[in-house]
Amino acid sequence: MNLPGILSKGEDYIYEEVPKTTTGRMAHIAVMRKTDSYNIFTTEGSELNMAETEKTTENSEKVQRVVMFKRKQVASERRTGKAELRGLYENHEDEIDRSEAFGDFGGDELCRLHDNLGGECIDCKLYGFANAQGDGNDGVSRSSRVLTDSAFSIRDIERREDITFNAQSEEAEADSSTALNSRAHTKPETYFPSIITLKDFTYRELYWLVYMIENTTRYGAETSRTGYVDNKVVSVWFDTSETMSNLELTQRVTAELEDEEDPNSGDVEEAVEGSVPEPEVDVNALRDTVEEVTGSDEDKIEFLENLHRSQAGDLSE
């Protein structure tokens, strides 16, 4: 296999084409998620999702952490990927040879989450699907090869803030407004270290996953109005087993930052990198390569069609 030089340390873990059965070969991606606005991480009602955990792996003091549930991460990142695929197909249909890669499965609409999954697009083959509707996949399900878990804030309940929404009367702007609702928000500059794992993968799938992670910016409720999150890939390494949970990573990062009264992004990034195994990929070179292969719509189409060939097992075409 002609593997890109930046991934040379992963030659025993990366496949040219996706294997038909699981092999336990994994790439682990450490990500620093930072809120850049007021985010609403709630399940129902107005209260933030919180969890009481030990402060660090060596300190059993209990702290209340904000939780960013797995499904909020996965749903947002899948929406980014699905939207990219649909946008390319709708704007360049005549230039695309493998329409199924972009979500076309012969129906009236392109593949989308929850109610119109075709099972053949790049996203479905990567993240899995349930009860697909495409030809040959009707009612079929497939498990995800992207492993994600809930992420925990490195700081405790101090990252919570209640915001009250008011209605202003049009009849008399000087009149006092009437409070409508109050919801708990996560403050800006709240950090959620996390590890995303990709298994049984090709190098193009790794590139695409990094692209989706770093280009997804909206998480939580009411993402059309708030919820901006900055994601930065900090480290990538390979293994045949999972390294640690997101909670353990957060506890390790908390310990690394114990002497920092008000850590900034650089401090947290350094702490995350110091809490995971040695990187086996130059993440800056990886980021540059991903930007190169996704630089224009034409570049993306060529890259994604080859990615889909590697997923379908027909790279020789």
155-187 pLDDT per residue, tens: 886 655 655 445 444 444 445 445 556 677 889
What's the pTM value of the predicted model, to 2 decimals? 0.90
Q: What are phi and psi of 122, to 5 degrees?
A: -60, -45
User: In which band, very low, low, confident or very high, does the pLDDT at 143 lie, cut at 50, 70 and 90?
Assistant: very high
CA 212, 73, 250: angle at the middle one, nearest 5?
Answer: 110
List, as one string, the DSSP characters of 49-89.
Answer: PEEEEESSSS---EEEEEEE-HHHHHHHHHHHHHHHHHHHH
38-47, 117-126, 200-209: which has the highest mean pLDDT? 200-209
Tokens found for residue 303: 């890259």
What distances in angstroms separate CA 27 from CA 44, 204, 250, 311, one per listed residue?
34, 12, 19, 17
CA 14, 29, 77: angle at the middle one, nearest 5?
Answer: 105
Tokens 């985010």 -> residue: 39
Q: What are phi and psi of 125, to 5 degrees?
A: -70, -25
Residue 170 pLDDT = 46
Are 237 and 277 in contact, with CB atoms under 8 Å apart? yes
Label residues 190-229 b or e (16+ Cβ within 10 Å = b).
Answer: bbbbbbbbbbbbbbbbbbbbbbbbbebebbbeebeebbbb
User: In which band, very low, low, confident or very high, does the pLDDT at 133 lie, cut at 50, 70 and 90?
Assistant: low
Are 107 and 118 in contact, with CB atoms under 8 Å apart? yes
Tell me the average pLDDT across 221-244.
89
Residue 138 pLDDT = 60
The stretches of the chain forming alpha helices (DSSP H) are 70-92, 122-127, 203-215, 246-256, 265-275, 283-293, 297-312
Q: What percent of the chain has pLDDT over 70?
A: 86
4 pLDDT above the threshold of 50: yes
What are 236-248's pLDDT values in tens digits? 999 999 999 999 9
Residue type, 140: V
Tell me which residue of 311, 313, 316, 314 sits closest to 128, measured CA to CA: 311
Return d(Cα 50, Cα 152) in angstroms, integer.
9
Mean pLDDT of the chain: 89
Return d(Cα 142, Cα 136) in angstroms, integer.
13
Give the CB-side neighbour count of residue 104, counting CA atoms within 13 A: 14
Return d(Cα 129, Cα 205) in angstroms, integer.
17
User: In which band, very low, low, confident or very high, does the pLDDT at 136 lie, cut at 50, 70 and 90?
Assistant: low
Return d(Cα 265, Cα 12) in angstroms, integer.
33
* 44 CB-near residues (< 8 Å, 6+ apart): none
Are 178 and 190 in contact, with CB atoms under 8 Å apart? no
Are 102 and 304 in contact, with CB atoms under 8 Å apart? yes
Return d(Cα 175, Cα 179) in angstroms, integer.
13
108 pLDDT above the threshold of 80: no
Three-state secondary-structure class, residue 211: helix
What are 50-91's pLDDT values in tens digits? 999 999 999 999 999 999 999 999 999 999 999 999 999 999
Are 97 and 298 in contact, with CB atoms under 8 Å apart? no
24 pLDDT above the threshold of 60: yes
What are 194-207's pLDDT values in tens digits? 999 999 999 999 99
Cα maximum dimension of the chain: 72
Residue 116 pLDDT = 79
Tell me which residue of 311, 293, 312 sits closest to 303, measured CA to CA: 293
Residue 86 pLDDT = 94
Are 155 and 191 in contact, with CB atoms under 8 Å apart? yes
